[in-house]
Structure 1
């Protein structure tokens, strides 16, 4: 069985990530110590670097690694692994992310193509968005 990971942009600020109750303050203090600001910064850090901090122990590192693992990431990632992650995850979207894109596309079509703002026009815009999303999904699935 293939494990499906959550998607995260590596430029996401590290303060947006939760590492579990009781760990957040200690972990975020360690991040400040090493000036880790994004998920990408964290992925480049070594396990041993955290062990050098007095308030970081094995339990803290395990919490960091477990959270990163939820996203298919880990500590001490090299440039090649980071590039592969970014390339793969730029094609992978959750159902809710596809749905969000669908409505954004439909809204753009509706506002730019139709001037009567009728229910029929809205339905046509949604159908066009569905067609477009279908094409995008096929394209991205072939690349992944």
Structure 2
């Protein structure tokens, strides 16, 4: 086991990419899952509910969040490689009702259905081993980076 794995999860995820859906602040299960996976060595990608996206991205830029909520067990800071807008209620763009498409809280965001986020992450059929895990209402995917 690597030194990374010994500090958090008893696994080494170095070279793996982890996607955690449902991260919108540094207080929830999603953030805790992201930190644990980062401590194990994974590259972190998160999906944030579209109406909360701007607030979350602003919080990430604030030094207080980056210096307080992102500290890993080894003292380093968790880095989020990419934040994707995501509304996991809708699998495809065709599933999205017109009133949601027209909602001002979704204005300016694109590619936020499940299939479009997965495609954007290049987690398609050409990457063979995608493992899906469920933890309460959170979903995360691990794949080779």
Kindly name which structure, 1 or 2, has the bigger radius of gyration based on alpha carbons. Answer: 1
**Which of structures 1 and 2 has the larger relative contact order (alpha carbons within 8 angstroms, sep 6+)?**
2
Q: TM (normalized to structure 1)?
A: 0.24
Greater fraction of residues in helix: 1
Greater fraction of residues in strand: 2
